[in-house]
Each structure stands twice: as structure tokens, then as C-alpha cells.
């Protein structure tokens, strides 16, 4: 989700994310089409991701060592299209 505290929607030009499972980079993703953040609230963003299947054995070992619990996280960048300039948010 992306939170927009402003009273107007903000167009999102590009999103790039890295997908991590138990701290292991498993793949990457990007936004699907152009989207805008809703004014004064949260916006759910649709992403398309690709997982590197060669990382599955390393993740599986970490999953078992963690008592069969996996922590999933995304780290990324969003480029907002402000018409006169672009704003990058890490």
C-alpha cells in the first residue's frame, strides 16, 4: 500500500521492487500499468513479480531453520509523476 496524505491524487509513473524471503533476494517486480495514489488515504498497488527458482533451495533451508516460518518483504522505489518534475521515494 502507498499512503498519500495530500488532498489530490498523485500519478505513479514507475515502481520497482525486490522480493525477499528470510532475507534472501528471491526476485524482482514492477507495477502493472500506470496508477495513481488516492487522495488522503491508502492505495493498493498491483505488481508483477518474477521469482528466481534457483533460490528456492537456499530459501527452503532458511524456512526449516526458522521453524517453518518465512518472513516476506519487498524493498523498492516509486517514481511519482508530478508533471513538472519526478519524485523518487525509496
Per residue in 10-44, pLDDT (tens digit) is 888 889 999 999 999 999 999 988 888 899 999 98
- Whether the predicted pLDDT of 45 surpasses 90: no
d(CA 19, CA 48): 11
Place of cell 488516492: 38
Q: pLDDT band at 87, cuts 50/70/90? A: low
State the pLDDT at residue 86. 64
The CATH number for 18's domain is 2.60.40.10
SS3 76: strand
Instruction: Specify the number of domains making up the chain.
Output: 1
Segment holding 14, helix H or strand E: strand 10-21
Domain span including residue 31:
2-89
Share of the chain above pLDDT 70, in %: 96
Look at residues 10, 7, 25 and name the one whose alpha carbon lies nearest to residue 72: 25
Amino acid at each position: 500500500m502507498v499512503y498519500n496524505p495530500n488532498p489530490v491524487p498523485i500519478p505513479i509513473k514507475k515502481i520497482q521492487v525486490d522480493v525477499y524471503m528470510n532475507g534472501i533476494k528471491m526476485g524482482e517486480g514492477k507495477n502493472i500499468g500506470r496508477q495513481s495514489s488516492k487522495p488522503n488515504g491508502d492505495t493498493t498497488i498491483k505488481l508483477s513479480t518474477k521469482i528466481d527458482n534457483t533460490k528456492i533451495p537456499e530459501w527452503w533451508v532458511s524456512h526449516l531453520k526458522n521453524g517453518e516460518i518465512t518472513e516476506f518483504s519487498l524493498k523498492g522505489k516509486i517514481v511519482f509523476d508530478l508533471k513538472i518534475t519526478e519524485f523518487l521515494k525509496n
